[in-house]
Chain A
Amino acid sequence: MLVAHHDRISRRRLGALALAGASGLLAAPMPLRYAFAQGGGDLRVALLLPTSGLQAQIGQACRRGADVANDVFADMKMAVKLDIANYDTETKPDVARTQAEKAIDAGAHVLVGAFDSGQTIAIAQVAEQHGIPLIVNIAAAPQITEQGYRFVVRNFPTAPMLITGALALHKEVFKVSGKTPKTAVLMSVNDTFGTAMVNGIKALFPTLEMPYEIVETITYDAAAKDLSVEVGKAKATKAELLLPVCRLNDGKLLIQEMVKQRWEPMGVMNPGAPGLYEQDFLKTMGKYSDFLISNVPWLDPRTAMTKALEKRHAAKFPGDQLDINGGFTFEAMLIAAMAWLAAKSTKPAALMEALRLERIEQHVMVGGPIEFDAKGQNVNIKSAAVENLKRKPTVVLPLDSGAAPLVFPMPGWTDKRRT
């Protein structure tokens, strides 16, 4: 049937059909794309995130922070509305670059993204070539703000800032609790992030005068399905503190194995890594997720804007936890909105000038006002000690942002406080 049908098509007609087909294939989504960028608003913001692919889960968590931004602005009586268009980078730098070109083609005034350093740099080049401001929501590679970009600002700590902030908080935890471990073991996943963190810790550790000694560094593959040997080795060191640089799945394996092997150090405190505070981790690990401490930038629970954001997020996404990803992406939207409020213009140069002069006192993450140095880096971001309490990541330090008292040393796995 198919053959018979094809036989009726002349060569010339097939040529025309092939050309039309190819053009149609590429142009078909055009109306969707342009309609998307005309939603009505003061400023068109293109949000570029990895909402599919390897980093999909985190990309979607970031996006939720942006999805409630306009509602929070309204709650805070800010006279601004953003027209946010979402672009999926598919966790690939080449797609990120093409998506950035597409967003600018569709009329974006500001780009926001992209969680991952490689994708962010791909987008930054496009932003520079077009002279369109890029607000980096999350990406820790120091190089992003070391390239001399004129149209890039970053509201996220660099990897050294993350480590320095986290290790400073360790001292704070020991000071507040009155208990100081003397030895620690560093366990890390050996992917890009983990290796960068381990190298950073090793480089910065001697300069920070930490009260404990790292007696062993144990790395494992990102795709590990069993960490019994690694945990056994760590337990054998008799270290009083575990510093895990993990992600979600290996974080679960790690804690499961610790419970199984009855290894109960004085504490489990990550030095600026994800995993332990994530929603899926808390759900899966249940009572064993409690009393683990993450030292990461976090939402300041005491500010009015954070309360508004938490309320809107909970209403719109009742099953999802608001975390660092949503928090920083919301702040990127806030930065864009404030730039527009200051510039009252969508012209890139005016927006960029407003971004450079910005000083946002009221925001959602722990730390000082949002403002950018000459390189476009916000240097006022601080880390918080976030302890899982009753299955909820809770800020315990710094004290002026604390939502609950610190519990340290960590209660044992069978302690009655774990319910």
Chain B
Amino acid sequence: MNALRRLTGNCTPRTLWSLAALLLLLLLAPAFLGKYWLSVLILILYFAYVGQAWNIVMGFAGQLSLGHALYAGLGGYIAAGLFFHYGIGPWAGLFAAVAAAALAGAIVGYLGFRFSLAGVYFALLTIAFSEFTRIGFEHWSWAGGSGGLFLKVDAASNLLDLRGGPVMFYYVILALAAGALVLCRALLESRLGRYWLAIREDAEAAQAVGVPVLRCKMLAMVISAALTALAGVWNAFYYNNLFPETAFAMSRSIEITLAPIIGGLGTLFGPFVGAVVLTGLGEAFTDAGDALGIPGIKQIFYGLALLVIVMFRPAGVWPWLSARLGLGERTP
């Protein structure tokens, strides 16, 4: 009860009612949405979830990682590989996946933070790790090499093995996204969360007042990597195929960062709002491109739209929107 009060303590009744209504709508969505709209909603929740995971390291702790595809890829490959080779189900496999991704996050974090790599230099380190992992997986026959790893498709729903149709995957990613939201809220309300914010604002000042900077940054990396690995597991079982050149791609890492940047870096609902805006814009421009028969038009207008959002709402859409709607979320 106390924990619940701590989680919801700062929220206005309007915020809590809005959240409850949103959750109810999302729970009922498969009943009234067609499969296409459901697949769009799945994408929104996926990007919201991975955005939330990335937000921990960048939005809360202020460390720029541009290689988060590494953790999603590792998570996906390990869980999928264990399932493919040994029949170990994804719920068991995800422990190994999360452990491997957390270890990778710890290695990257230690190398970066211990040797005071910051800003673009830390970002380059994260990219480098993602890239050489890609090259490694291209030559690792257990993981299918560059020819890819394909999971056997089964239309019958089986939650234990994560085999089945989109409705099941929808509820799984919804649970992940909701869980990540609660976890992030709890983290922000904790001492660790406050340390992160202090580090983000001024790491030297934080250290001077006794914040264990290295340990806090490491925890941010490890938690973020572990959460991203869960998304990777979900992704691998949803799409049933993995290729190193896409699983660890730089473009995948960039995609992970977009929703929180557009929605509002360091905010709890920013990744959700950003994912809605980005996926909505993406779908709208994809449709327009298909209908007009001009390939690539989407990328041009999508880029322009993002430019406009960043220019006029540099802090993201959510802080502006929440202030206007009177929805109370603490903006650290």
Contact (Cβ within 8 A) B147 A195 = yes
Smallest CB gap from B252: residue in A: A92
**Interface positions of A (Cβ within 8 A of B):** 2, 6, 9, 11, 14-15, 18, 22, 25-26, 28-30, 32-33, 35-36, 51-52, 56, 59-60, 85-88, 90, 92-95, 97-99, 101-102, 104-105, 117-118, 121-122, 124-126, 128-130, 141, 143, 147-149, 159, 190-196, 199
- Beyond A32-B288, A98-B43, whether A129 also contacts B241 by CB under 8 A is no
Within the assembled complex, what's the spacing in Å between the Cα atoms of A373 and B36? 31
Q: Which residues of B contact A32 (CB under 8 A)?
A: 287-288, 290-291
- Beyond A18-B321, A191-B146, whether A51 also contacts B34 by CB under 8 A is no
> Is B89 interfacial (CB 8 A cutoff)?
no
Within the assembled complex, what's the spacing in Å between the Cα atoms of A255 and B271? 48
Can you identify 23 A-B contacts, CB atoms within 8 angstroms?
Answer: A2-B312, A6-B324, A14-B324, A18-B321, A28-B284, A28-B287, A29-B287, A29-B288, A32-B291, A85-B290, A88-B298, A92-B246, A93-B246, A101-B38, A117-B241, A122-B241, A125-B239, A128-B155, A141-B147, A141-B150, A147-B152, A192-B138, A195-B146
Given A102-B287, A149-B153, 5 extra CB contacts under 8 A: A26-B284, A60-B295, A88-B290, A90-B286, A93-B241
> Is B328 interfacial (CB 8 A cutoff)?
no
Within the assembled complex, what's the spacing in Å between the Cα atoms of A129 and B299? 30
Within the assembled complex, what's the spacing in Å between the Cα atoms of A30 and B291? 10
Within the assembled complex, what's the spacing in Å between the Cα atoms of A29 and B301? 14
Smallest CB gap from A51: residue in B: B295
Contact residue among B241, B276, B290 (Cβ-Cβ distance under 8 Å from A118): B241
Contact (Cβ within 8 A) B146 A122 = no
> Is B148 interfacial (CB 8 A cutoff)?
yes
Contact (Cβ within 8 A) A97 B239 = yes
Contact (Cβ within 8 A) A196 B153 = no
Report the minimum CB–CB distance from A1 to chain B (whole Å).
Answer: 12
Within the assembled complex, what's the spacing in Å between the Cα atoms of A73 and B239? 36
Contact (Cβ within 8 A) A25 B153 = no
> Is B289 interfacial (CB 8 A cutoff)?
yes
**How many A-B residue pairs lie within 8 Å, measured between CB atoms?**
154
Q: Which residues of A contact B147 (CB under 8 A)?
A: 141, 159, 192, 195-196, 199
> Is B165 interfacial (CB 8 A cutoff)?
yes
Contact residue among A36, A52, A104, A128 (Cβ-Cβ distance under 8 Å from B153): A128
Q: Which residues of A contact B8 (CB under 8 A)?
A: none
**Interface positions of B (Cβ within 8 A of A):** 34-40, 43, 138-139, 145-148, 150, 152-153, 155, 165-166, 239-241, 243-246, 276-277, 280-281, 283-284, 286-291, 293, 295-296, 298-299, 312, 321, 324-326
Contact residue among B40, B146, B290 (Cβ-Cβ distance under 8 Å from A192): B146
Contact residue among B35, B146, B165, B324 (Cβ-Cβ distance under 8 Å from A190): B146
- Beyond A121-B240, A125-B153, A128-B153, whether A52 also contacts B296 by CB under 8 A is yes
Interface of chain B, helix or strand or loop or mixed? Answer: helix
Contact (Cβ within 8 A) A9 B324 = yes
Contact (Cβ within 8 A) A59 B150 = no
Within the assembled complex, what's the spacing in Å between the Cα atoms of A30 and B283? 10
Within the assembled complex, what's the spacing in Å between the Cα atoms of A14 and B283? 23
Smallest CB gap from B44: residue in A: A26
Q: Which residues of B contact A129 (CB under 8 A)?
A: 35, 155, 165-166
Q: Which residues of A contact B145 (CB under 8 A)?
A: 195-196, 199
Report the minimum CB–CB distance from A118 to chain B (whole Å).
Answer: 5
Smallest CB gap from A59: residue in B: B295
Q: Of B36, B37, B244, which is in contact with the most chain A CB atoms at under 10 Å from its CB?
A: B36
Contact (Cβ within 8 A) A29 B283 = yes
Smallest CB gap from B46: residue in A: A94
Q: Which residues of B contact A90 (CB under 8 A)?
A: 286, 298
Q: Which residues of A contact B244 (CB under 8 A)?
A: 192
Contact (Cβ within 8 A) A94 B239 = yes
Q: Of A28, A51, A94, A95, which is in contact with the most chain B CB atoms at under 10 Å from its CB?
A: A94
Within the assembled complex, what's the spacing in Å between the Cα atoms of A15 and B327? 10
Within the assembled complex, what's the spacing in Å between the Cα atoms of A101 and B167? 13
Smallest CB gap from B139: residue in A: A195
Within the assembled complex, what's the spacing in Å between the Cα atoms of A199 and B148? 13
Contact (Cβ within 8 A) A88 B295 = yes
Q: Which residues of A contact B148 (CB under 8 A)?
A: 117-118, 141, 143, 192
